[in-house]
Amino acid sequence: MINLRDILYVRLGTRDLEGAQKFCTEIVGLQAVERTADRLYLKSSASHHAVCYFQGEPGDHTVAFDIKDWSQLGAALAQLQSAGVPCGQGTAEEAADRHVEAFIWFNDPTGNRIEIVARPHDAGKRYFPSRDAGITGLGHVGLCTTDPARDQAFWLQHFNAMVSDWIGPCPLLRVNPRHHQMALFASQRKGIQHINFQVAEIDDIMKSWYFLQSQDIRIVFGPGRHPTSGGNFVYFEGHDEVIFEYSNSDRHIVGDLENYRPRQFPLHPTSFCMWGSKPDIAEFRD
């Protein structure tokens, strides 16, 4: 069993680092902390970065989690290798690029690239964005899966992942008490389906809703409220058509975990929004 602590960063390929920087700093409210000829790092909390754009193919996505016990990284790699999962150890140069001490990578059965990190670098500086969207940190990702049941079984077999709720066949998975750090959404493709940043309160979501409209940003869902996590939300389309979400989900699953049962919601728009907002997102439609 590989024990993960939390989601740590995403890596996104782009052919337009300049456009990514403009959108993420001026619209999303992330802080650019480092820029080279082929890299852009953006932070949303005290850790070094939450998003790294690299010069490459849009759609080339990676999601990273940090491992609970840093001494177990080698054992995690051995477990994945013995199970026949495509995986490997990051080189020192690749670790430096990620601002971590060490990492391993693997592909999930859909082909999503996941990295497991030991000793991620702290920024040593506060998050201080130029646009105050109320962001408190990276919350979760929606990850595309070509077979939700198969990929759920994979995550539950190898990791400390638990199902918090289902929407249709799609599990919302947690590796810590927060309601979910990853949701697997049925799709024909692999890659990140949306990137969630947590914000402090509903006022931040509504202020952003007005702000995004004033900037002619395409809002693809919301404002609304998720019946699963209880969070208010708004989703909008960003650079390279990547969907970003702000939400303020504060549901934690604690206490009598033995008797906790995930709830089954139907694959229907009301399972994504209890207020009645209709998603303009392919994976959220029934």
Query: Residues interacting with Fe ion, by CB under 5 A?
Result: 196, 245
Nearer to Fe ion, 127 or 272 (CB): 272
Contact 121, 70 (CB under 8 A): no
Beta strands in 209-266 (DSSP E): 219-225, 232-237, 243-247, 263-265
Nearer to Fe ion, 97 or 245 (CB): 245
Residue pair 268/278 in contact by the 8 Å Cβ criterion: no
Q: Which of these, 179, 196, 169, lies nearest to 283 by C-alpha position? A: 169
- Residue in the shown chain whose Cβ atom is closest to Fe ion: 196
Residue 66 in tokens:
């940090």
Q: Which is nearer to Fe ion, 196 or 271 (CB)?
A: 196
Smallest gap from residue 194 Cβ to Fe ion (A): 6
Q: How far is the CB of 277 from Fe ion (least distance, A)?
A: 13
Beta strands in the chain (DSSP E): 4-14, 31-35, 39-43, 51-55, 61-67, 87-89, 100-107, 113-120, 135-145, 162-167, 170-174, 182-186, 192-199, 219-225, 232-237, 243-247, 263-265
Minimum CB distance to Fe ion, residue 8 (Å): 17
Q: How far is the CB of 179 from Fe ion (least distance, A)?
A: 10
Which CB sits closer to Fe ion, 110 or 229?
Answer: 229
Half-sphere exposure of 282 (CA within 13 A, CB side): 9
Residue 104 Cβ, how far from Fe ion at the closest point, in Å? Answer: 26
Q: Given the complex with Fe ion, which of 66 and 245 has the nearer CB atom?
A: 245
